[in-house]
Amino acid sequence: MNIGPVAVTGHAALAPMAGAADAAFRAMTRRFGAAYTVSEMASARALVYQPTRTSELLIPAPGEAPFAVQIFGSEPEIMAEGARLALAMSGAQVVDINMGCPTPKIVANGDGCALMRDPEKARRIIEAVVKAVPVPVTVKFRLGWDEDDRNAASFARMAQDAGAQAVCVHGRTRAQMYAGKADWDALARVREAVTIPFIANGDVKSAEDAQTLYRKTGCDLVMIGRAALGNPWIFAEVEAKMSGLPAPAAPTAEERLRTARAQIALACERKGEHIAVLEARKHLAWYLKGVRQSAAYRARFAEVKTAAEIDALIEEFLERRPDLDYGA
Ligand SMILES: Cc1cc2nc3c(=O)[nH]c(=O)nc-3n(C[C@H](O)[C@H](O)[C@H](O)COP(=O)(O)O)c2cc1C
């Protein structure tokens, strides 16, 4: 598929995830076949008023392309300026606007999913950003604010009219936050409302799910969030499935931990060891999910303070259990 002139080759994108899908993790997903990646969301206001603090969020991993920077905010002029700055800092191929974030702090400011309740303002924002940057602009949002106000189809049409070159829709309402099930039938109806490329998102947990979501919605790309955490191999599985190839072998415990280690090394380079190691605790727990007999180690990984401690613990785990395969 294409987003404007930007070719996206492959079948699954990594969803933007603030505090989880940083450049180091995204690099691992690219290694295993993620076709498209998006930055963590950055505040347009912060970009305009405190650019140095925000720039780290927006800089892609080496070779990470096609890549989108995602910004949020609700003032058209600040969003336009934020988009220009985000693009200059990142060299991204696409600018994505967040109109789906459900977090109370964000929506209380009129940002994120709050914009779904003010489509006229959303239109002004999209138009301003489209005018401000020379790259394609996309919009990510939800099915609506709540069950009584599922306006994703008209919102998608509005975004298309305002100049968006693709839309990405998460099949939940704001009221659902991350609970309940994503409604893929509703996504199919949103898909029909626009002619621009449509990216479908929500609850893809396996290659089979990705294939079903393609079939159900006629989407151009599937986007995977939580199921990719600690599991970048899901992208290889989706590629194989969509190409009619046999499923690749599941990663062994050793592959999982070596990949986690490579990710943490990259994170240390970018953020410094202190922050990278604190954040590594949750990534290690995700990588160990489903690895047999790892519970005791998970508890120990949750307390690591240095990269050297992580290395030592990984080596200890692998030495004790050289025969371990990934499994229930
Ligand atoms: C920890 C976390 C952080 C997220 N941060 C963002 C974000 O910065 N921007 C955004 O558009 N969506 C964000 N999302 C939403 C995801 O992009 C995605 O729409 C949602 O998780 C549904 O997909 P999934 O079921 O595959 O996880 C976040 C989700 C999670 C779990």
- On whether the CB atoms of residues 292 and 250 are closer than 8 A, the answer is no
Candidate from 37, 226, 235 with most ligand 1 atoms within 8 A of CB, to mutate: 226
> pTM for the full model?
0.97
160 lines ligand 1 (CB under 6 A): no
17 lines ligand 1 (CB under 6 A): yes
Judged against a pLDDT cut of 70, whether residue 326 lies above it is answered with no
222 lines ligand 1 (CB under 6 A): no
Give 11-54 pLDDT, tens digit per residue. 999 999 999 999 999 999 999 999 999 999 999 999 999 888 78
112 lines ligand 1 (CB under 6 A): no
- Average the pLDDT over 263-270 and give the result: 97
171 lines ligand 1 (CB under 6 A): no
Name the residues annotated as catalytic: 101
Q: Whose CA is nearest to atom 28 of ligand 1?
A: 17
Judged against a pLDDT cut of 80, whether residue 134 lies above it is answered with yes
Q: What is the pLDDT of residue 56?
A: 85
Candidate from 96, 139, 170, 176 with most ligand 1 atoms within 8 A of CB, to mutate: 170
Q: Whose CA is nearest to atom 19 of ligand 1?
A: 170
**Mean pLDDT rounded to a whole number for the chain:** 96
Give 174-228 pLDDT, tens digit per residue. 999 999 999 999 999 999 999 999 999 999 999 999 999 999 999 999 999 999 9
Q: Whose CA is nearest to atom 2 of ligand 1?
A: 17
